[in-house]
Amino acid sequence: MSKLLELDKDTYDNFVKNHKTKSHFLQSYCWGVFSKKEKNLNPYYLGIVNEQEEVVGAALLLQKMLPLGFCYFYVPRGYVIDYKNMDLVQDMTIKIHEFAKKKKAIFVKIDPDVPLHKLDNDGHIQEDAENNYQLVDFLKKIGYRHRGFNKNFESSEPRYTFRLDLTQSMEDIEKNFHPTTRKIIHRGNPFNLVCYKNADAKIEDFYLTMIETAKREQVVYHDLNYYKTFYELLHKNNQADLYVVEANIKELKKLYKDKIDAAQKQLSLLEERETSKSKNKIEELKAQQIKNEKEYQEICKIKDKKIILSSILTAKYGNKVWTVHGGNHTLLRFLNANYFIYYTIIKDAKEEGYEYIDFFGTTGNPTKDNPIYGIHLFKKRLGGEYLEFIGEFDYVIKPFMYFLFQKLVPCYRNIIKKRSKKELNDEVKGNK
């Protein structure tokens, strides 16, 4: 007969990290420590042990305390189990229910990163491919309430993502890039951008790009201490890397000046001996010169000697790397620093032996009028598989309290969101 136990760090992490299908940094022991420190959530590291004393399932339960001693639990990315084993899914559910009930929990939320069905890269369902509709139905049958198939970022974690298979050769990975991406990558590093990593990078520089992104996209982000704790805690356990891309303004000015001068010489020579054959080339060069001059003028407006263009905080765990947090400067976007940094991360992840890189979130509504369409398009062009997960499920333990929670919490969160937005706007103004 199986039993539910609290697991020590090594036993827990060894099982989760090495699970064939469900290892996720959001289920790591370290994430529980981070959640306690930064989110004031109490972590419980639980495992299902069979009659042979073998761990066959595990879960990080994050407890959110509520008034009057009540609470709820969130299991980020769901239980670490074989979801094809319905008996195990039910057994885990029963055991977690019993545990949560003793803690006066109102409900337990899970959001497994289990694909709902197979999509092509344009979001069309592949009808003849494997799907997990039966799992969704089974979870509802044993008492879970499905929270629906949201399209954007309404849930606790993204329901859609792109995940790139790193077991391919770099040649095959690059073949699957969009032609525009491939062209930019194969151009090399013509602007002499420098990518700093970990000890050579600064979290404060990373934070500046987050502020720039917030100004441009009007998105909410965390304070500097949140990112510092994320990086320092996870990196200490070899679970995070910090990447920062920098441009040297003096070098850029010289590169552009040389490029403009060289193009002008070529243009002058062609104009001296203009023929019907060279006419198109002259027009192309003139258009290119207009573009070069415009970009050069943008560079000349920058007074700093160096400027941080792009940065990313990754998480690493098990067989995957995730590009969790990132930002880009509003200036000099034509230098394509975002392509440079992602390509660097992909190469590093492959060299370090990881099997997948998850670009951590996109939309399920990839239309041009969607505000995050640009983010979706960029990630899509990196050639990963477009995934849609089965969504969030709540296992309700106290129905009346759950009803109140669902009515009151959205109001409370709207107040917090408005306050956070005001604080964000104040901070953005202070950093202008």
Which neighbouring-strand residues pair with 240? Answer: 315
| Domain shared by 11 and 101, yes or no | yes
Q: What is the pLDDT of residue 25?
A: 98
Residue 313 and residue 175 in one domain: yes
* Tally of structural domains, the chain: 3
Q: Does one domain contain both 292 and 334?
A: no
Residue 121 sits in the same domain as residue 35: yes
Which residues lie below 8 Å from residue 302, measured CB to CB, with a gap of 6+?
Answer: 249, 331, 332
Give the pLDDT confidence score for residue 428 in this predicted structure.
53
224-236 and 29-39 helices, crossing angle to 10°:
160
- Residue 219 confidence (pLDDT): 75
Q: What is the pLDDT of residue 416?
A: 59
Looking at 236, 266, 300, the residue that finishes a domain is 300
Contact 46, 96 (CB under 8 A): yes
Burial class of residue 155 in the structure, from the number of CB atoms within 10 Å of its CB (0-12 exposed, 13-18 middle, 19+ buried):
middle
Q: 275 and 128 in one domain?
A: no
d(CA 188, CA 84): 45
Per-residue pLDDT at 348: 98
Q: Where are the beta strands (DSSP E) in 318-392?
A: 320-328, 356-358, 385-389
Whether residue 314 sits in one domain with residue 278: no
> Does 242 lie in the same domain as 256?
no
pLDDT tens for each residue of the chain, 432 residues long:
899 999 999 999 999 999 989 999 999 999 999 999 999 999 999 999 999 999 999 999 999 999 999 999 999 999 999 999 999 999 999 999 999 999 999 999 999 999 999 999 999 999 999 999 999 999 999 999 999 999 988 889 999 999 999 999 999 999 999 999 999 999 999 999 999 999 999 999 999 999 998 888 777 789 999 999 999 999 999 999 999 999 999 999 999 999 999 999 998 888 887 777 788 888 999 999 999 999 999 999 999 999 999 999 999 999 999 999 999 999 999 999 999 999 999 999 999 999 999 999 999 999 999 988 999 999 999 999 999 999 999 999 999 999 998 888 777 666 656 665 666 566 555 555
Q: Are residues 12 and 78 in the same domain?
A: yes
The C-alpha atoms of residue 219 and residue 221 are separated, in whole angstroms, by 6
Please count the CA atoms within 13 angstroms of the CA of 173 that sit on its side-chain side: 20
Strand, helix or coil for residue 223: coil
Residue 114 and residue 239 in one domain: no
Helices (H), ranges, 273-311: 279-300
Q: Are 41 and 63 in contact (CB under 8 A)?
A: yes
pLDDT at 277: 75
28 and 48 inside one domain? yes
Question: In terms of domains, do 32 and 103 share one?
Answer: yes
| Same domain for 140 and 28 | yes
Sign of CA dihedral 235, 238, 240, 244: positive
186: containing domain: 160-247+304-383
List beta partners, residue 311: 244, 327
Type of residue numbered 56? V
253: number of CA atoms within 13 Å, CB side?
Answer: 11
Q: What is the CATH number of the domain that holds 19?
A: 3.40.630.30
